[in-house]
Amino acid sequence: MKLSARNQLPGKVKHIDTGMVTAEVVIALDGGGEITSVITKKAVENLGLTVGKKVYAVVKSTEVMVAVD
């Protein structure tokens, strides 16, 4: 499947915190730094996410803001 979302950053799952409905997934990016994702607990199960697994952090462009110091 090829997706319109233009931001697909490769990394590895570093940490998963699971709640009742949602889960927080911290991804260590291959390029350095981390990105945090909040998805449903069921999505974590569907994808079989575990610490160390290779993943992509995917973000639609309209969801990305820009900041300057």
Contact pattern for a copy of itself over residues 25 through 44, marking x by CB under 8 A: x-x-xxxxx-xxxxxx-xxx
Number of alpha carbons in the 13 Å side-chain half-sphere of residue 24 = 7
User: How many residues make contact with a copy of itself (CB under 8 A)?
Assistant: 55
CA dist 52 and 27 (Å) reads 9
> Does the protein bind a copy of itself through residue 60 (CB under 8 A)?
yes
Report the interface residues with a copy of itself, using CB under 8 A. 1-10, 17-25, 27, 29-33, 35-40, 42-44, 46-49, 53-69
